Amino acid sequence: MKKIAELRRLATLTVVMVVVVALLAGSAGATSPATAVTKTFSFIGKPGSKTATLLNIDSLLINARCDSSGRPVIFAFTSANTADILGRIFDGLGRVHILHNTSFSKKTKGMQLSPTSGDFDATGSLLFESSTGAVVTVNLAFDNSTTLGNQNLCTVFGSFIAT
């Protein structure tokens, strides 16, 4: 009887070890999530302001300034050899501005994120991925002068998540 109990324990232990090894082997091939960085940004400038960096992370740089009429001018650049950048901006008139460059690279002169015409109070999102697997998600909003209680300013604000 004692021998049967020992055999059962040994069989149970063997099954448990096989299950643990199978689980570990299955998760070893999966990509583990990286630690994400979440931050906010805010730019408030007068018409004709100098360019300011909103974010610079995982080879994505986004900057903003106000043109002489108080409209926000927002650009994205990358230091990656190859990357994708995709997004959409909804302006205050309800129009959609599609952002799309699947050949985004350090050779690219930059990509304008703010519309070049129409209503400049807008909101949108942007997704960036470099060939190294770095991913940045940006949610942003911006407004032309007058804003913030009828001040002669433009503003760009939002948040980003990067891995």
Domain spans in the chain, listed from the N-terminal domain onward: 1-32, 37-162
Is the per-residue pLDDT at 6 higher than 80?
A: no
Cβ neighbourhood burial of 78 (10 Å; 0-12, 13-18, 19+): buried
pTM over 0.85: no
Pairwise CA distance, residues 127 & 136, whole Å: 6
Is the per-residue pLDDT at 51 higher than 90?
A: yes
Q: ∠ at Cα 33 (162, 123), nearest 5°?
A: 30
- What pLDDT, on a 0 to 100 scale, did the predictor assign at position 7? 42
| SS3 of the chain: helix, strand, coil, percent, to 5 | 15, 50, 35
Pick from 41, 49, 78: nearest CA to 154: 49
- Tens-digit pLDDT profile for residues 89-115: 999 899 999 999 999 999 999 999 998
Lookup: tokens for 94: 């309800």
DSSP state for residue 151 in the 8-state scheme: B
Q: Which residues contact 15 (CB under 8 A, 6 or more apart)?
A: none
Residues of the chain with pLDDT > 70, as a percent, come to 79
Chain centroid offset of residue 6 CA:
57
Pairing of β 154-162 and β 37-45: antiparallel
Cβ neighbourhood burial of 136 (10 Å; 0-12, 13-18, 19+): buried
Pairwise CA distance, residues 33 & 40, whole Å: 21
